[in-house]
Amino acid sequence: MAEVYLAGKVNSNEGSISGFADELEERGHTITYKWWEAKALKKPYLEHIESSRPAAVRMVEAVRRSDVTILFPEARILGAAIEFGAAIGDINENREIIVVLGDEATETRQSVFYAHPQVIAIQGLREIRSRLWY
């Protein structure tokens, strides 16, 4: 079973991150950190630094523990982009880093890092469901 980190908005074009996390857990996978359930995490983050700082550390640690990191890119995903960068920068050649572009990839703002050799750009959740680890 895989250790999975999910990055993106709580609700994306593909549905809710928590719903997909539930699906993965039902299949026996582990979500390394459910940041969307962190009740202590409040915006604006710098005004709540006492809860933001440890959450940021936990998120990066959870990315590093993951076998699979999945990014659901949308507009205004600065935090998720940082998590995506942490996955690439960690140099774990066994980790799958997946970017879910959705069914219409041209509608998603793209990054040059989606072409990184360690990144797998896919067209929707159906392609994740066809991965060997799934």
Range among 75-79, 83-87, 109-113 with highest mean pLDDT value: 83-87
pTM of the model: 0.92
On whether the 3-128 domain is CATH 3.40.50.450, my answer is: yes
More reliable by pLDDT, 133 or 14: 133
CA 44 to CA 25: how far, in whole Å? 31
Per-residue pLDDT tens digits for 89-119: 998 989 999 999 865 555 567 889 999 999 9
pLDDT above 70 covers a percentage of the chain that reads: 93
- Residues 39-52 have a mean pLDDT of 90
Helix, strand, coil percentages (3-state) for the chain, rounded to 5, are 45, 20, 40
Q: Identify whether the C-beta of residue 18 lies closer than 8 Å to the C-beta of residue 10.
A: yes
Q: List Cβ neighbours of 120 (8 Å cut-off, separation of 6 or more).
A: 96, 97, 98, 99
**Pairing label, strands 68-72, 11-12:** unpaired
Kindly state the helix (H) or strand (E) to which residue 6 belongs, with its residue range: strand 3-8
- Picking from 78, 79, 117, 83, the residue whose alpha carbon sits closest to that of residue 4 is 83
Sequence ranges of the domains in the chain: 3-128
Q: Is the confidence at residue 11, as pLDDT, over 90? A: no
